Amino acid sequence: MASPADVNLVCNSGAGETETDITGTGIDFISADNCLNTSGNRTSNPITIPAAGFAYSYDKWLKFELGTTEPDTQVTNFKFWGAGTEPEAGVVKDYYKTTNTYATPALATTNSGYTAVSTATAGAKASISGTLNTQGEATQYLVMMLEVSTGASQGNMTQQTYNYSYDEN
């Protein structure tokens, strides 16, 4: 048998869809298109709390991609879920959507077309399509962004952690 398949969480940025493996590092929800997770990145690209209405982060384009160790048969049934809460109840919310086609990341302007991550829970996981067999194959995109409204607390927010699962045989 092969070792467990090498399934990586990849972030895509730029018009050329530059791929960054973020499996062990994560990303920032910020006002810029990059796949970094650094204090400097967050300081340089903050999200401004609006005086009225909403402000948004850039959308972050993620996908699961097979690395060098391939499965015996396939990797499939990708799921994603959070803790069932909002980053800051009522005023800072994280959203997601899934899509098959890449678009250059942009500053989000609405939550239309997105679903609140707080609804993707252990009991109601979100599905991400894709059956991976060989190195380089990837799932559809999981696009995430942050919505901030008046009343949000200033400063660094608590880290958000998301769960995921996939089936391999």
Partner 1 sequence: MCRVLLTNKLIQDHYMNLREYYHWQITLKDGRVVEQSADGDKEPFKFDSRNKDFENVKSIKLTPKEVNSHELSEVTVEIPEGAQLIYFRRTIANTGNIFPKFQLTLIGWQMNTSPDGKGKNIKYILYIYPDGKVLATDGSDPSIEEFIASLPQKDASEVKGCSGCQPRLVKAESDGEAK
* Site string (85-124) toward partner 1, x via CB under 8 A: --x----x-x---------------------------x--
Residue 152 as a binder of partner 1 (CB under 8 A): the answer is: yes
Judged by CB under 8 A, the residue of 8, 46, 97, 118 near partner 1 is 46
Tell which positions 123-142 bind partner 1, by CB under 8 A: 125
Report the alpha-carbon distance of residue 146 to residue 96 in Å, rounded.
9
Instruction: Sort 161 into a burial class: Cβ within 10 Å, 0-12 / 13-18 / 19+.
Output: exposed
Give the integer Cα–Cα distance in Å for 149 and 159. Answer: 18
Among 48, 68, 101, 134, binds partner 1 (CB under 8 A): 48
Q: Is 57 near partner 1 (CB under 8 A)? A: yes
* Residue number with CB closer to partner 1 (55 or 120): 55
**Distance (Å) of CA 30 to CA 68, 124, 155:** 31, 28, 13
Task: Report the run of H or E that residue 78 belongs to, with start and end.
Answer: strand 75-81
Q: Closest CB to partner 1 among 1 and 112?
A: 1
CB atoms within 10 A of CB 4: 10
Q: Is 28 in the site for partner 1 (CB under 8 A)?
A: yes
Tell me which of 29, 61, 114, 141 binds partner 1, using CB under 8 A: 29
